[in-house]
Structure 1
Amino acid sequence: MHDLLLTQKIAEIRPEIDKIAELELADVPLSQLTTLRLGGQPLLTARCMSQAAAIKLVTLLDAHSVPLLVVGGGSNLVVADGDLDIVAVVLDFDAISINPGTGLLRAEAGAEWDDVVALSLDAGLGGIECLSGIPGSAGAVPVQNVGAYGAEISSVLTQVRILDRATGDVSWQPATSLELAYRYSNLKFTARAVVLAIELQLTLDGLSAPLRFGELARRLGATEPGERRPAGEVREKVLELRRGKGMVLDPEDHDTWSAGSFFTNPTVDNRVADYVRRVTGEDNMPCYPVAGTDQSKLSAAWLIERAGFPKGYPGKGRATLSTKHTLALTNRGEATTDDLVALARDVVAGVDDKFGVQLVPEPVWVGVEL
């Protein structure tokens, strides 16, 4: 059951909620709003069709201490089953504007991210083609500094329009204020602000960002480090690679019922990396030195497989590792969040036991812990 006091609060402020223009209320579980198709029933689901509606609703809920969850594409959420004492605030405003002359692109938070990438290429711009096919919304992209195939959004993000939940101020803030790092910003896990829109500076020559990911570069026939190719060509190859790993959403393919890459690639001391190499006996294991440190970044997927978790590993319930990619935990159609969490715990414990390396989940956890 939902918390009685919170239910009463919602009832008390319902007349004010009903006055907000461009807002639709629904009785929708989070399982219908996440790519994992998991998650219980919130107190209320509110779909905001404009930035103004989102600002008014979030400000009202915060003023009355009503917990909320901001939802874009739902691709990075692990949400508990059952009744949830939160209001789901769905960002459903998705305008995209592009200036082909300057390369500046602005997208509202609810815009589907892959639409943003496709439209940038249609406008003859380059810079985000390696991020093709990533599920989710534009507003989520800076929150975890989304990256793939050797590219990160931090390289093109100029500023974000945010609602500061502590002050109620709405303003454009420079990307430098977000402290962007590997799969991190100071927005992640803090709920300090709501991203309303983003701005990117893209290149005008229609060429890709420098190719830094070995597999992608090889597929494109690149021979020189940092080579650039037509952005459209790179996008098609990225989509091909992602589909092969079950990383492009397909309602008919349970391998795509996931939160994408579930664990970040761990950064460890070089002595730990050497230990892992000795344990596996594989001199050519994926290992990337972190410049200026005595640390290296390892491949989470590689560690998971070597710890005894192959593709399709079934776990104890109705959640399994993807049959195409060990880094994705998937819902096979009737899984519960408890099934998924149990599988995640098994994988984390297995990698820790085998190598002494702690895997860190990438998604945001709501009402449940690892």
Structure 2
Amino acid sequence: MPSANSTLSTSPSAGPTRSYALDHTLAFALCLGAAMLLLWPLLTGQMLFGGSRSDMFIAGYSFRLFGAESFLANGAIPQWNPYLFGGLPYIAAMHGDIFYPTAWLRWIMPVDVAITLGMAIHFVLTGWFTYRFCRSLGLSWNASVVAGVAYELTGIVASQMSPGHDGKLFVAAIAPLAFWTLLGAIRHAKTWCYGAFAFVVALMVLGHYHPAYFLLIALGIWALYLVFFDPERPADVNPVKTLGLSLVAVVVGCGITALQVLPFLEYMPFSPRAAGGPDTGWEFATSYALPPSEIFTLLLPQFNGVLDQYWGRNPIKFHTEYMGFLPLALAALALGDKARRRLVIVIGVSALFFLM
């Protein structure tokens, strides 16, 4: 069994004289270059969160502008927003990325620039973190770069920028980082990775609640695989201790978010989405689910139409699930990888589970 260090440093495609720093630098440059295929308008001063129909343009921008102006004027995050209805709690009613690090950008630059830059940075990090995760799994440099760019440019990531769904983009970027830190903690027995994982969990929750709890389920499956089924797990792994530390990291991460979560829990009974409100019930909860007919958009993004031409069953739809033929074909080829069959099975079953 290879040691933790040898697994992390495996570089099948790199020549013996090429340094890992150069590998990582080249990979980052490719992720940045791929992102700039879509991000170049920001270099000319344009905003990347869509037109008059985008959620960011309609509401999110004003939330963030109010928060930034209040902080710069008073030196504190506002507790109350008097400009909505008869007034709303600012923190409790979830006015965007209040405690997420991107909020700091709005204290030092114009709000529209800060929002655009925050999303652009995460767009690049989506590919970079995926690349680093794949390298830690022992994949070749070529395979890892392809995986990073493919995930970075997939529709469910890239299309979040148009409506300004920055929170979803944040969690999409953090997802491979979360899997990577948990891999380091369990397979590579790096204790400090549990602390890093706790911090990542906090970022997930502060980024966007909805994708965060789905991601936590996926990470739970990943932890069980690493402890019980991973052929490269340490021979002396203690399932109770390892899963216990992973759970403690999740609890600590959620505890870090208490400054946002506790006010939100107190506000929930007064929300229109609380029990008995207009936005409740099974019908509402599933109204934005992926209709089975739109599975074809994984290969053909215009199958159900895009934006004004959308004719599917969702009430509104600003994103696409498009992945493209090449990434799906490469994923299918993984079925023949006997060396990583268990890994392919757990990822495939998880993908099918979350698709359902």
TM-score of Structure 1 vs Structure 2, range by shorter chain:
under 0.3
From the two aligned structures, give the one with the greater helix fraction.
2
Higher RCO, Cα 8 Å, sep 6+: 2
More strand by share: 1
TM score, norm. by length of structure 1:
0.23
